[in-house]
Structure 1
């Protein structure tokens, strides 16, 4: 009987894990095959990270669209950097604040309520965390209208909004020095 219950428990755990989907590495430090470049940012791969530090602005937009998902991404920015991860973009050729949710990376934003850790114009940052000068980890979860953002293990935003139900996501370069590495996604 114990063996039977252990087998049933293991099977149930396996079903839950497979229902959530497996993690897919979109950027492994070697190539940008899973992304389209939009804009004029000078994205280059250096020491296992993709980085930009020049241009009027640009995005790396995933070739796939996602509805319900989790994203894990590591990023590094300097103090004046303006960046973010735009999710559920309506138009992958024109990502931006009007057609996507913007999970901000902008320590020096004039309105600090929507600085690093916030979902711009949707969820103010609950716990402000400065990101400049160090590697950070974002965990972004979107399931139905519910979205959460966790930065370095601290939940910084929790929101309900159904305006953008599905779309690609985009890594943004706006200003300063921006680096991303270990970008992964898992469908829910």
Structure 2
């Protein structure tokens, strides 16, 4: 190969490398821009609850949570309820979540602002690595997506641990519907519940409004792309 051909080949390789680097930076910028959402901004009628960079607009156990790589994460060994500043009656909330092995968290639904979300609130919807061996003896009403201790969700629709799942929850009156990765896993009416796990009463199940939030249990579960819409 003569020197002129070598020069052309080198220039082509440099050009290709520069393009690949630029493309990589563009992809990184796209991800960063996608995760940077102003709290309160609306998309298709849904209001953003998380800006992707800090815990602006959140209340409750704020010190027990952190923001890492564009997601809200429970600090290891910490917990408590991180909740919205506003109360909601009927609403739809959608978000993405990622579970570590055996990860355990929950969604606080119509939470009054104090107490155990599973009992003081309307309910706690489980966020759990249900299939982990640690939970082999679970009551069905403790599986992921279940109205804790009251109504069992369908199992088998979580993605492998470490992957991002998408979920949408609709709360209307006393009814709750949970859609996990496109499949309805819970569609029930708490007004019809008369039997409770371990015979433990749920005094908050008839609440008409309350805060929405995350009920951490010491595991580093992550949440992102969190949007909520009030229903008439």
- TM-score bracket for the superposition, by shorter chain length: 0.7 to 0.9
Matched, 1:97 2:126: no
Q: Which residue of 1 aligns with 2:81?
A: 59
Distance 2:60 2:173 in 1: 27
Distance 1:76 1:128 in 2: 16
| Greater relative CO, 1 or 2 (CA 8 Å, sep 6+) | 1
| RMSD (Å) for aligned C-alpha atoms | 2.0
Distance 1:85 1:172 in 2: 6
| 1:102-181 → structure 2 map (5 Å cutoff) | 102-106=124-128, 107=130, 108=132, 109=135, 110-113=137-140, 114-131=142-159, 132-162=161-191, 163-181=206-224
Residues 181 and 39 of structure 1, relative CA distance in 2, 3 Å threshold = closer
Aligned pairs, how many?
166
| TM-score (ref. length: structure 1) | 0.80
Unaligned runs of 5+ in 1: 1-20
Q: Deviation of residue 73 (structure 1)?
A: 1.1
| TM-score (ref. length: structure 2) | 0.66
Greater mean deviation of Cα atoms: 124-133 or 71-80: 124-133
Distance 2:97 2:74 in 1: 12
Q: Deviation of residue 156 (structure 1)?
A: 0.7
Larger radius of gyration: 2
Higher helix proportion: 2
Higher strand proportion: 1
Unaligned runs of 5+ in 2: 1-43, 192-205
Distance 1:145 1:54 in 2: 34
